[in-house]
Amino acid sequence: MEFKPDSELLKKALPDIEIIRFVAMGGYKAVYEAIINGKKEALKVAYIPREDDRSEEVPDTLLRIKREVESLNQCKCPYLVRLGSLKPQWHIIGFHNYIVYSEEFLEGKSLAELIKSGFKPTFDQCRKLLLCFLYVIKELKMNKLIHRDIKPANVLALDDPDRPYVVLDLGIAFKLDSTAITRDPNAVLGTLPYMPPETFTENFHQQIDFRSDLYSAALTTYEYASGTHPFIQGQRSDPFILQRILKITPSSLYSHRPDFPGSFCQMIDQLIKKIPALRPSNIDDLIKKLEAL
C-alpha cells in the first residue's frame, strides 16, 4: 500500500477510536487492531489515490471498497468475515485521501503463517477447511460473486469450533452481470500462484465463474495439508509459476498425505483441474460427501 498514514495523524483524525496496534498491510489497505464503539474490531484504512482534477471518473479503489462492503453486507455465511460497526467514512489524513471502515477482529493465525511455521494439520482440520470454503463459495455464488483471491493469507484459523476457519478480503471480488471495476479490460487481478488457468485466457471475464474459487480453495487446502505449493516449488519467478499453472498436473495430494482418505485427496485433485468443466461443481453434493467422511 502506498502512503500508509502516519499513526499520530491517524489517531488525530479518528479521535473516537482507540488504535491498539498495526496488524498488516495489503495492496491498498492497512489494518489495525482498534477499539471502536467499546468493542475490539479490525480497522481498515484504504488509501484512495488522487485522480486528475479534470477527471470525472471515480477511483477504482473507491469502487472496490464499495463492492466489498456491499458484498459483505449481502453474505451471511459464518465462515466469511463480518463487517464491524464503523461504516465507511472519508478522511483526509496528511495530504492524502482515505476511506476508513471496520470489520470484526478475529483472533487467529492465517493459514500462510501456519504453513510457514511447518504446521501439519490433521485430516479433520483439512476437511473442515474445505467445508468452510464450500459454504463461503456457495454463499458468494448465490450473490453472483467470485472472491478471486482465496489463498492462505486470506484465511484465518480460529480457536472456535463454530467458526474454525474464516475467509477474509473481498477486495477484488468480481460481480457477475455487473460492470467491471478495473478499467483495463486486460488487467488480471489476483495472487498469481492461486489464480486458476482460465483467468489467463482471452476474454477471461467470460470464462470465470464460481469454479475459479473452487480451484483456489482446493489449492489452498492442498498447500495447507501438504505444506507445499505445487506450482511454486522453491521458484518465485512469475513466468515459472505461470508456466506451471498452465501446464503441470500437480502430484496427487495422497502422495503427500497417505494418512488422508483417498476420496478426500481425489476430491482436491479433481477441484484443481485446469479445465473448469472437469471440476465437480455441485457444491451441495461436495458438502454432503465431505460431511460423510
Partner 1 sequence: MKLYAQCGHAPADKINRGIELGLVDGAILSPRYLTPDNASQIASELKQIKSHIDVLLDPEFYATRYVGTPNAQLRYLEEWPYFIDTKRTDLLINSHLVDEILQNSFNAQKDIGCTQLIAPNIYIGNSFDSIDAAIAISFINKAKPVAERMQANLPVYATVAAHRDAIIHHNNFISFLSTLTALEFPPDGIYSLVGGGSADERAGTVRSEVISPDVIAGWMLLNHSLSLNGIRVINGFSDILTPFLGAAGGYAGATGWWSNLQVFSMGRYIKGPAGGQSPLLKYLCLKLLNRISVNSLKAYIELIPDILNSLPTDAYYNGREPSRTEEALQSWEAIKFMTDNTISNNIGESLERLENRIVTAESYYRRLNELGFSEGFESNIEYLQCLKDSLMAFERLAEL
Q: Does 211 bind partner 1 (CB under 8 A)?
A: yes
From candidates 176, 236, 278, 291, binder to partner 1 by CB under 8 A: 278
From candidates 6, 124, 285, 291, binder to partner 1 by CB under 8 A: 285
- For residues 131, 133, 136, 137, the Cα torsion angle rounded to the nearest 10 degrees is -110
From candidates 21, 57, 277, 292, binder to partner 1 by CB under 8 A: 277
Give the single-character DSSP code of 193: G
Question: Smaller CB distance to partner 1: residue 256 or 279?
Answer: 279
Q: How far is the CB of 135 from partner 1 (least distance, A)?
A: 19
Question: Smaller CB distance to partner 1: residue 31 or 137?
Answer: 137
Among 233, 276, 238, 235, CA closest to 251: 233
For partner 1, which stretch binds (CB under 8 A), given 22-30, 167-175, 177-185, 278-286? 278-286
Question: Smaller CB distance to partner 1: residue 128 or 211?
Answer: 211
**Alpha carbons 151 and 110: distance in angstroms, whole number:** 10
Q: Does 148 bind partner 1 (CB under 8 A)?
A: no
For partner 1, which stretch binds (CB under 8 A), given 10-18, 74-82, 179-187, 272-280? 272-280
Question: Smaller CB distance to partner 1: residue 110 or 199?
Answer: 199
Q: How far is the CB of 123 from partner 1 (least distance, A)?
A: 21
Q: What angle do CA 115, 120, 126 make, to 5 degrees?
A: 90
H helical segments located in 144-260 = 204-207, 210-226, 238-247, 253-256
Q: Is the torsion defined by CA of 98, 175, 185, 236 positive or negative?
A: positive
**Alpha carbons 159 and 175: distance in angstroms, whole number:** 32
Q: Which three cell numbers stand for residue 276?
A: 473448469
Q: Is the torsion defined by CA of 133, 84, 161, 29 positive or negative?
A: positive
Q: Is the torsion defined by CA of 115, 117, 123, 124 positive or negative?
A: negative
Maximal CA-CA distance, the chain:
62
Q: Does 282 bind partner 1 (CB under 8 A)?
A: yes
From candidates 29, 127, 128, 273, binder to partner 1 by CB under 8 A: 273
Q: How far is the CB of 173 from partner 1 (least distance, A)?
A: 18
**Alpha carbons 208 and 281: distance in angstroms, whole number:** 13
Question: Smaller CB distance to partner 1: residue 125 or 281?
Answer: 281
Give the single-character DSSP code of 83: B
Question: Smaller CB distance to partner 1: residue 143 or 281?
Answer: 281
Q: Does 291 bind partner 1 (CB under 8 A)?
A: no
Quickly tell me which residue has 456457495 as its cell. Answer: 138
From candidates 249, 251, 258, 261, binder to partner 1 by CB under 8 A: 249
Q: Does 276 bind partner 1 (CB under 8 A)?
A: yes
For partner 1, which stretch binds (CB under 8 A), given 159-167, 168-176, 216-224, 266-274? 266-274
Binding positions for partner 1, rule: CB under 8 A = 207, 209-211, 249, 270, 273-282, 285
